[in-house]
Structure 1
Amino acid sequence: MSCSTDNHSKPKAMSRAKGWSTEVENLFRFQQAGYRDELEYIQVKQGASIDKWPETGFVKKLQRRDNTFYYYNRKRECQDRDVHKVKVYAH
């Protein structure tokens, strides 16, 4: 549905997360809300700002595609058992 010719819209490669990190934590949160990553969220939500916890840098709140919101804790939410489910995209 996007009419953008932006090169950032399609990732070049995808791999699975091997270990937990701040990046993996935030990807987990975006993917839980129905987005590939922060880039896709910004494209879909037309540059919506992303609230992050200042002390951790973790995403605080995301608007899903159905316009409901996900609210996240300042602490880690992606458990070790879920790390391998997180998709890491290379753009």
Structure 2
Amino acid sequence: MATSDVKPKSISRAKKWSEEIENLYRFQQAGYRDEIEYKQVKQVAMVDRWPETGYVKKLQRRDNTFYYYNKQRECEDKEVHKVKIYAY
């Protein structure tokens, strides 16, 4: 790992759904903490998003397969508490 890698200082769990939680859910499903880690690992400047909602549209996993997401909310209420929020 490069010394430029940003490490989170703390972690908490999501309590209620929001657009931010929706996107974190998508990054975490694909195997990343969040957008910061995804951009570091994949060396990409932009993440593919739905223009209508701003939600993440497509992510490349560490094994180079792709996850494709819907325009609509995918993180159900029962999944919200699984989402980790990292503070830097």
Are residue 75 (structure 1) and residue 72 (structure 2) matched? yes
Secondary structure in structure 1 of the residue aligned to 2:57: strand
Q: Which runs of 5+ in 2 are unaligned?
A: none
Matched residue of 2:72: which SS?
coil
Deviations 1:39-80 (A, max 9, x none): 000000012531100111100000000000000000000000
TM-score using structure 1 length: 0.92
Alignment of 1:56 with 2:73, yes or no, is no
1:85 aligns to 2:86 (yes or no): no
Provide the identity percentage.
72
| 1:1-91 mapped onto 2 (5 Å cutoff) | 2=1, 4-6=2-4, 9-91=6-88
Q: TM-score, normalised by structure 2?
A: 0.95
- Point out where structure 1 has 5 or more consecutive residues left out of the alignment: none
Aligned length: 88
